[in-house]
Amino acid sequence: MSLLVVGSVAFDSVKTPFGEVDEVLGGSATYFSTAASYFTDVNLVAVIGEDFPEAHVQFLSERGIDLEGLSRQAGRTFRWRGEYSYQLNEAKTLDTQLNVFESFHPTLPEAYRDVPFVFLANIDPDLQLDVLNQVKSPKLVACDTMNFWIEGKRDALLKTLKAVDILIINDGEARELADEVNLVKVAKKILSYGPSTLVVKQGEYGALMFTAHSVFSAPAYPLEEVFDPTGAGDSFAGGFMGYLAKCGEVNDSNIRQAVIYGSTMASINVEAFSLDRMRALKQEEIASRYQAFKALTFFEEY
Ligand code: AMP
């Protein structure tokens, strides 16, 4: 089944202990849709400026991503600049320029209004809700956000969360959103805001999925080389939602598999800067990393 995403398409400038890149392809919706495109049809809603190169548009199009909802407007593309220390789990944001996103009010293409699966990637929560309200009767809605919006637009974010089934968020941001330290208490509080499922991404420590009655834990793949953690969260969400959309329904078994497909895509993405690792990625590599996750956590009955 098809999947709609709204989020940022960006120029990222990133510094990690292993190198530095300037104005490369990035953005929450870019990472998400590229990862999800390995599983299902993706419809992208975002805005780019006059300065966005045709080659990047071509890349997304070659991944089979539907770009009818990608609007080019007068002005500059969204820009984000961040830095990571040896503690690769958290980016320090040095600069955020919303640019064309400041005045973006999309009207969804008619063909996008019936999509069953929706992902509200990290972007202004007012824009997330605006897009969601144009989808007729979505089967599953998931969402991401970050401290920039938790601090700058908390009320709008809480309104969006009321309409969301699954929140996928970093541990630090989950704690900030709930104003609690303990993750079990964080989960209880966030589930009271609207979502019935919370996925907490913990970088190199993996991911935890909470519902009112269960907890599922997935490790992160122990990689020898991590070059650039940028986009790990969005690639996780792309693998997670892409797999659920491919299944066409959500149950306890496939949502756990989705967490592992999410972890698989995140672990692959961080092996290179920007989206470079996903440029020539093969389905066999995804399947083999998924199997490696299975081996990593398998143990016998007592
Ligand atoms: P992550 O998957 O959490 O590493 O997200 C990284 C991506 O988020 C980068 O490619 C950025 O362009 C994008 N990003 C950073 N800040 C924001 C923001 N305030 N709104 C939307 N996207 C952002």
Angle at which helices 28-36 and 54-62 cross, to 10°: 30
150 within ligand 1 shell (Cβ under 6 A): no
130 within ligand 1 shell (Cβ under 6 A): no
pLDDT value of position 31: 98
One-letter amino acid of 239: G
pLDDT value of position 87: 77
Query: CB–CB of 235/207 below 8 Å?
Result: no
pTM of the model: 0.97
Query: Hey, whose CA ends up nearest to atom 15 of ligand 1?
Result: 80
Q: Which residue has the tokens 């190199």?
A: 204
Which atom of ligand 1 is least distant from the CA of 232?
2
202 within ligand 1 shell (Cβ under 6 A): no
Query: Any idea what the Cα angle at residue 74 is, between residues 68 and 79, rounded to 5°?
Result: 85
Query: CB–CB of 220/203 below 8 Å?
Result: yes
pLDDT value of position 204: 87
Query: Hey, whose CA ends up nearest to atom 12 of ligand 1?
Result: 27
What the chain holds in terms of domains, given with CATH numbers, is 3-296 (3.40.1190.20)
Query: Hey, whose CA ends up nearest to atom 20 of ligand 1?
Result: 123
**One pLDDT digit (tens) per residue for the chain, 302 residues:** 999 999 999 999 999 988 899 999 999 999 999 999 999 999 999 999 999 999 999 999 999 999 999 999 999 999 999 999 887 778 899 999 999 999 999 999 999 999 999 999 999 999 999 999 999 999 999 999 999 999 999 999 999 999 999 999 999 999 999 999 999 999 999 999 999 999 999 988 999 999 999 999 999 999 988 888 999 999 999 999 999 999 999 999 999 999 999 999 999 999 999 999 999 899 999 999 999 999 998 999 98
